[in-house]
Amino acid sequence: MNNLIIGIAGGSGSGKTTLALRLKERFGEDEVRLISHDSYYKRHDELPFEERCKLNYDHPDAFDNALLIYHLQELKAGRAIDCPVYDYSNHNRSDKVQHIEPAPVLIVEGILRRLVRDVKERGRSLDSVIEQYLTTVKPMHEAFVEPSKRNADIIVPNGGENTAAVEMLAHHIRNLIEKANMM
């Protein structure tokens, strides 16, 4: 299958998921698949819960990138995948999977919107989220995310809230798809 893979990267809370969702809204249901890097956190069945809580989930080594790459290759080849599902409450990959069919556009987005998400959706305390931000998120952002900007084709300030950028990107993606006769 001749599909377009779009990577959305940025710091925690930068609006990657919002941008991915806004782009998906601009296309038909069968045209775009979203794949979250969060789904590819490594399994840690060998560790007790208390030890899993201490892991640095902001380091690139926390992810099973080989599986993500394999899944992207499968989707590009026109084959469906069973994407892992991460269980945030247990700090481990669950036994569930999400079946994803191939599509002309694959949007891959990374770890995101930490503070609001962790407090509202994961039941974490504000103090624990702030402590994690200061001890792992910020240092990992400075070491790995910020330097990767030089490889970006486009930098979108304000993530998915930047409607002008969303429209421009959607238009550009549509042109690429039409040019490649993918739809």
User: Which one, of 55, 36, 39, lies nearest residue 47 by Cα?
Assistant: 55
Buried residues in 29-48 as b, exposed as e (16+ CB within 10 A): eebbbbbbbbbbbbebeeee
The secondary structure of residue 63, as a DSSP letter, is B
- By residue count, the chain amounts to 183
- In this predicted model, what pLDDT tens digit does every residue of 68-105 receive, in sequence order? 888 988 998 999 999 999 998 999 999 999 999 999 99
* Residue 14 near residue 109 (C-beta atoms within 8 A): no
- In this predicted model, what pLDDT tens digit does every residue of 126-183 receive, in sequence order? 567 666 766 777 777 778 777 877 887 878 877 778 888 888 888 988 888 888 875 4
* Residue 15 near residue 160 (C-beta atoms within 8 A): yes
* Domain extent listing, the chain: 4-180
Q: Which two tokens stand for residue 111?
A: 């770890």
Q: What's the average model confidence in pLDDT over 23-36?
A: 91
The β-bridge relationship of strands 92-100 and 81-87 is: antiparallel
Q: Which two tokens stand for residue 165?
A: 């950028």
Q: Residue 142: what pLDDT? A: 79
- In this predicted model, what pLDDT tens digit does every residue of 106-126 receive, in sequence order? 998 875 344 445 655 667 665
User: Which one, of 67, 137, 77, 131, lies nearest residue 101 by Cα?
Assistant: 77
Write down the pTM of the prediction.
0.68
How many C-beta atoms surround the C-beta of residue 160 within 10 A? 21
Q: Residue 152: what pLDDT? A: 77
CA–CA gap between residue 80 and residue 99 (Å, rounded): 7
What CATH architecture is 4-180? Answer: 3-Layer(aba) Sandwich (3.40)
